[in-house]
Amino acid sequence: MSKVVRFLPLCALSINLLAAAAAAEPRKPTHVACVGDSITAGAGASAPAKSYVSLLQGLLGNTVQVKNFGNSGSTMLGPGFADKPYVLQAEYTAATDFVSNAGAGAVVSVIIMLGTNDSKPFNWEPANKPKNDQQYLSDYRAMVDHFAGLPTKPVVYVVYPLATGTAPCCSIRGEVIHDQEVPLLKQLALEKHLPTIDLNTPTLNHPEYFGDGVHPNDAGYVVMTDLVKKGLDREPTVSITSPTTGATVAAGMLTLSAEASGDTVDISSVEFLDAGMSLGKVTTKPFTLMWEASPGAHAIVAKATDTTLASATSTLVMFGATPAAVAGAGGNVSGGAGGASAGSASGGTPTAGSGTAGSSVVTTAGGATTGGATTGGSGGSGPMAPAATDPNADAGCSVALPGSRQRGGLGLLLALASATALGRLRRRAA
C-alpha cells in the first residue's frame, strides 16, 4: 500500500477533529439573586415549585443558591414617583444582604426584572406631572450601581420585561413596556456594559403563556425560565481573521488577528494559542498579536474572555509556514560544478557544465521549479520525477492545506500538529 493511502485517513481525521474544537465557557454563578415584582414572586403559577425561580433552581442544580426576592406590585420607579417602589420593600434589603454575604470567591449574579408595574398610567404618566420615562432610567441606573458596588462584585443582568397577553389585568400596558421601557433598558445596558435577558420579544403575541394577560401560567413560566437560563449561559463570540485556514505563509514574524464581541458586554482579553500553548494575550482592540512562526504546520485558536468571565474559543485555523527555500521531491537546487539541475514534472536529463546558483527556489512535488532559475551541473542522468498525474506521486500525507501549493511533508506535519493540539486541548479541558 502506498504512503498516500496510509496517511489520508489520518489527515482527514485530524482535520475533522480540529474543525470541531471550538468551545464556549459560560460564566457559572454560585449565587443568583432574583429581584422583581409579582412575576418573580410566582403569581399565576399553580404551585410554588412551578414559579420561574424554583424552576431555575432546578436547572442550575443544588450547587447554586437561587433566591427569590420578588415583591408583588413593586416598581423600579423610586419614592415620590410610583405607588410601590421596590427599594422601600423588605425584599430589597434581603437581596442586598444575600449578595453582600455570599462570601469570598462567590460568583454572584443579580437578575433585575422590574418595569411591569411602572407601565401603569398613574406611575408612567402621573397627572399634572412630567412623564416618568427618564426617571425610570435614572432609578434603574441607581439600582444597578447599588448591587454592582457590593463587596462580592456581582454581574447584574438587565431583563426586558415580559410582553402581555389578551386583555391584561391590573392596568398593565404592554405597549408601554415594548415601545418605551425596552429601548431605555437597551440604552442602559450599552451605557453600563451589562448583559441583557430579553423576555419581551419571545413572548410577544403569545397570549397562551398568560393566565390573566400579565402573569404567566405554568407553561409560560417554563418558557420564561428557559430564556433566563439561556441568558445566564451567554458567551462572547470570537473568530480568527488572519491567517486563514489553508494558507501557506513564510516563516518568521506573522500578524495574528481576531474579531471578538460580547454584545453589550466588553471583551477583556483575546488569547492566541498554537497547539494549546499560549502565544500571548491582547487586551484592547484591534485584537492583533505579532508572533514568530516557525516552519511547519500550525493549528491556531483564539480565546475571548469578557468582563463577566464568560469565554469562547474560536474554530481552529490550520496553515503552513515554509522556510525561505524549500526543495521538493522532484529535483535539487544546483549550486556549483557537478550539481544536477531540477527535473521537470516528467523527469529529465541534466546538462553538463559548471553550475551557477540561482535565486531562492521552491520545488513542488511534481518537480517544477518556482521562484527562480538554476543552471549548470555536470554528471549523468537526473532522477526521474513522478508524473504530476500519478495518484501516488506525493510522499507522506498528500492532502495539502487548501489553497496551498506545498504538498507531501506539510500534510504530515499537519497531522502531527493536529494530534499534538488535540492532546493538549484535552489536558486543558480536564
Give residue 25's pLDDT.
85
Residue type at position 270: V
Asked if residue 257 lies in contact with residue 399, where contact means CB atoms within 8 angstroms, the answer is no
Give residue 324's pLDDT.
65
Element (H, E) at 427: helix 409-429
Strand partners, 321: 249, 296
CA distance 350 to 334: 10
Give residue 118's pLDDT.
98
Strand partners, 111: 34, 157
Q: What is the dihedral of CA 28, 33, 34, 37, to 10 degrees?
A: -160
Give residue 45's pLDDT.
98
Domains in the chain, CATH or no CATH each: 10-24+236-324+421-429 (2.60.40.10), 28-232 (3.40.50.1110)
DSSP secondary structure of 30-59: SEEEEEESHHHHTTT-SSGGGSHHHHHHHH
Q: Where are the beta strands (DSSP E) in 136-247?
A: 155-160, 196-198, 237-242
Cis bond before residue 286 (omega within 30° of 0): yes
**Cα dihedral 139, 145, 147, 148 sign:** positive
Give residue 336's pLDDT.
38
Give residue 24's pLDDT.
72
pLDDT, tens digit only, all 430 positions of the chain: 433 333 334 344 344 444 445 567 889 999 999 999 999 999 999 999 999 999 999 999 999 999 999 999 999 999 999 999 999 999 999 999 999 999 999 999 999 999 999 999 999 999 999 999 999 999 999 999 999 999 999 999 999 999 999 999 999 999 999 999 999 999 999 999 999 999 999 999 999 999 999 999 999 999 999 999 999 999 999 999 999 999 999 999 999 999 999 999 999 999 999 988 999 999 999 999 999 999 999 999 999 999 999 999 999 999 999 986 553 434 343 333 333 333 333 344 444 343 433 333 333 333 333 334 333 344 444 443 434 444 443 434 434 444 344 444 445 445 555 555 555 445 554 5
Instruction: Report the interhelical angle of 409-429 vs 3-19 (nearest 10°).
Output: 40
Q: Within 13 Å, how many C-alpha atoms sit on residue 419's CB side?
A: 7
Asked if residue 247 lies in contact with residue 293, where contact means CB atoms within 8 angstroms, the answer is no
CA distance 317 to 218: 46
Q: What cell was used for 379?
A: 554528471
Question: 65-70 and 31-36: which strand pairing?
Answer: parallel
How far apart, in Å, are the Cα atoms of 255 and each of 225, 241, 293, 410?
A: 44, 10, 10, 21
Asked if residue 61 lies in contact with residue 26, where contact means CB atoms within 8 angstroms, the answer is no
